[in-house]
Structure 1
């Protein structure tokens, strides 16, 4: 391994790969119906899984599971009737984040996950204050010239088999984690990605809760 994974800040960070499945009601933001997370640390030159979590989530009445949602995920309204509420599921995940530990969330198209978390921030305040890394800009930097940077395209590029339950959060987290590790391996040979700060500059996304509040432009 090269300089990136030898950087003390990189090695001190726990990378939490996260994925949501959602239903998207008209006039409302996407509502989570499943979440999965996988925590990884780079220790002594090797990656170690330090935690794993997955839960179904019961959507609110204004965001019922539609046939299109079921076609995409395989999840049905009946399966989610007795699932934990967003407060229960996301609260449980939030409590797994240890105070004082540096975390970065990792997601494919992190804007989606960032938006979901932001709208559920009352249930997961620690998660909502955790910044993100997006595999898409990182892949664009490291593997220029692909036709697109969708997850399926990156899986094919790296020779990662499609999971049978693709579009379920636990399966998507597993394959996104594999893509992330392949990208970090490629980053070891990139002179522009020598430390965590450079990685964040290339592929980071600041959590909305951490963004500065702009003064009103029309203040007298």
Structure 2
């Protein structure tokens, strides 16, 4: 008699690269958010050790358009100054390079409050088609599914709730990616300890977000 499915035995979970991604963006009045930084980190499940870095790690500052300058408020929050991005590449250039260099094979994006990342990727889908069509796993929703009694599910609240190290440069893209990766490992450990989430599909059912670009493509066929 076989027991319930285990997440660590799911081929889809074992063969998928989990790409943790984070943007820092400015939101000028009357316009959609404009990225000023993006970071990404690849993880793959290693039996007995959980998700481990694949070696793929990327971070880039982005020069926003003239109508979306880095404000003093953003500098206070992130430490990013206007002069830091003055000579940076545009978002389309940065995302095109990221799209071309992410690991081959099955891919799942991971983000804390994933609609933000999903919207930014969709806005620039012509330059990052693979990323824009890739579904996302939202650590906020996963935390809520696994620990529904927590009082809050923002990143700072989850860092505190699980005793994770709070980065000194919190609100920089790479720092937030690193701590989100730690959060993901904790949540996947909790998921694997139970019997409710035995496959990657189970996780996506409660914490997945469909890629808007993929949905638009499907709708265009009818």
Range into which the TM-score falls when normalised by the shorter chain: over 0.9
The CA deviation at 1:43 is 2.5
Deviation beyond 3 Å, 4+ runs, structure 1: none
1:25 is the counterpart of 2:35: no
Partner residue of 1:165 out of 150, 166, 169 = 169
Matched residue of 1:188: which SS? helix
**Corresponding residue for residue 56 of structure 1:** 61
Aligned length: 214
Matched residue of 2:19: which SS? strand
Return the alpha-carbon distance in structure 1 between the equivalents of residues 140 and 92 of structure 2.
29
2:16/2:106 contact within 8 Å kept: yes
The CA deviation at 1:45 is 3.0
1:74 is the counterpart of 2:74: no
1:35/1:169 contact within 8 Å kept: yes
Return the alpha-carbon distance in structure 1 between the equivalents of residues 187 and 103 of structure 2.
26
The CA deviation at 1:215 is 9.2
Partner residue of 1:136 out of 140, 145, 157 = 140
The CA deviation at 1:98 is 4.3
1:88 is the counterpart of 2:111: no
Return the alpha-carbon distance in structure 1 between the equivalents of residues 191 and 127 of structure 2.
35
1:86/1:123 contact within 8 Å kept: no
The CA deviation at 1:204 is 0.4
Partner residue of 2:12 out of 9, 12, 20 = 9
Task: Provide TM-score, normalisation by structure 2.
Answer: 0.92
1:12/1:102 contact within 8 Å kept: yes
The CA deviation at 1:123 is 1.7
1:213 is the counterpart of 2:219: yes
Return the alpha-carbon distance in structure 1 between the equivalents of residues 83 and 177 of structure 2.
24
The CA RMSD measured in Å over matched residues stands at 1.5
2:111/2:138 contact within 8 Å kept: yes
Question: Runs of 5+ in structure 2 lacking a partner?
Answer: none
Q: Deviations over 1:135-184 (max 9, x none)?
A: 11110111121111010111111111211100000000000000000000
Return the alpha-carbon distance in structure 2 between the equivalents of residues 113 and 92 of structure 1.
17
The CA deviation at 1:214 is 7.5
Q: Deviations over 1:37-85 (max 9, x none)?
A: 0000003333321111000000011111111111111111111001111
